[in-house]
């Protein structure tokens, strides 16, 4: 119905027309499901005697419970990840320990064979390296195959008693390896006794 421009449009007519326009599909927007859920909680929960909706309090309790549950789930997952990481780390450690033990055994076998052939200098050197590798496996020092004997003492951070034992042996071994001093059977036997004392076995 057309109204003359000079005549005022009744407020009720404007309200109805506006409702019809807003009821069209392009103007209707459905709320997200989470918002609809909270609306139902806020509208549907009342605490007797308080007169105000108790939905806020209920939602707060619900949110707190969800946070507590999330905390325990995350903590459990973190514990599982740490356990798996520890198991994965222990496996290579065991493999490395087995490799070191095999290396010590090989060095001692070669030392015995060199001694039987009469190559006492080689037997002495092999016994010394078996001792050093074995001490490294026990954590008494850090051993790397690429280090010289001097680097071993300077960079391997040996324990004080181990350093006191290895320092004179290193000097002695260098002299005998380069032929400045003869190697005797007693020298080899002394290193074999040191290996036995520290349970460096092959």
Q: Out of 116-120, 169-173, 185-189, pick the least confident.
A: 169-173
pLDDT at 137: 79
Domain count, the chain: 1
Distance CA 137, CA 122 (A): 22
**C-alpha distances out from residue 141 to 102, 111, 162, Å:** 18, 22, 8
Whether 36 maps to a domain, the answer reads: no
Whether 95 maps to a domain, the answer reads: no
SS (H, E, C) 74-99: HHHHHHHHHHHHHHHHHHHHHHHHHH
Dihedral, CA atoms, 193, 172, 146, 131, nearest 10 degrees?
Answer: 10
Across 43-48, average pLDDT: 52
Whether 70 maps to a domain, the answer reads: no
Distance of CA 54 to the CA centre of its chain: 46
Distance CA 14, CA 10 (A): 7
- Going through the chain in order, the beta strands assigned E by DSSP cover none
Whether 164 maps to a domain, the answer reads: yes
DSSP state, 27? Answer: G
Structure-token match 């030392």, residue found: 111
DSSP state, 9? Answer: P
pTM (2 d.p.): 0.51
- Percent share of the chain, pLDDT over 90: 15
- Percent share of the chain, pLDDT over 70: 65
> Domain range holding 135?
104-197
For the stretch 66-121, pLDDT in tens is 788 888 888 888 887 777 765 445 444 566 567 778 888 898 999 999 999 999 99
pLDDT at 91: 43
Whether 117 maps to a domain, the answer reads: yes
Closest among 150, 126, 121 to 202, alpha carbons compared? 126
Tally Cβ neighbours within 10 Å of residue 181.
Answer: 14
pLDDT at 81: 78
Across 26-47, average pLDDT: 57
pLDDT at 12: 77
Whether 26 maps to a domain, the answer reads: no
Q: Which residues fall within 8 angstroms of residue 131, CB to CB, at 6 or more apart?
A: 191, 194, 195, 198, 200
Whether 171 maps to a domain, the answer reads: yes
**C-alpha distances out from residue 117 to 108, 114, 120, Å:** 14, 5, 8
Whether residue 58 is predicted with pLDDT greater than 70 in this model: the reply is no
Whether residue 18 is predicted with pLDDT greater than 80 in this model: the reply is no
pLDDT at 127: 92
More confident residue, 100 or 165: 165
pLDDT at 126: 92
pLDDT at 158: 84
Whether 10 maps to a domain, the answer reads: no
Which uninterrupted H or E stretch holds 38?
helix 33-44
More confident residue, 42 or 172: 172
Distance of CA 50 to the CA centre of its chain: 53
Contact 176, 124 (CB under 8 A): yes
pLDDT at 122: 92
């Amino acid at each position: 119905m057309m109204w003359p421009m000079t005549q005022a449009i009744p407020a009720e007519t404007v309200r109805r027309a506006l409702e019809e326009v807003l009821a069209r599909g392009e103007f209707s927007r459905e709320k997200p499901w989470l918002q609809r859920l909270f609306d139902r909680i806020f509208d549907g929960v009342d605490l007797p005697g308080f007169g105000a909706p108790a939905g806020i309090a209920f939602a707060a309790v619900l949110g707190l419970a969800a946070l507590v549950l999330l905390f325990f789930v995350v903590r459990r997952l973190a514990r599982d990840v740490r356990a798996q990481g520890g198991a994965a780390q222990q496996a290579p450690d065991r493999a490395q320990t087995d490799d070191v033990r095999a290396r010590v055994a090989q060095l001692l076998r070669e030392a015995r064979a060199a001694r039987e052939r009469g190559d006492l200098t080689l037997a002495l050197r092999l016994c010394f390296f078996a001792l050093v590798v074995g001490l490294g496996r026990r954590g008494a020092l850090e051993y790397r195959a690429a280090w010289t004997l001097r680097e071993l003492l300077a960079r391997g951070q040996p324990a004080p008693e181990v350093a006191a034992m290895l320092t004179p042996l290193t000097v002695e071994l260098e002299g005998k390896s380069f032929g400045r001093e003869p190697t005797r059977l007693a020298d080899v036997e002394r290193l074999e006794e040191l290996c036995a004392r520290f349970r460096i076995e092959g």
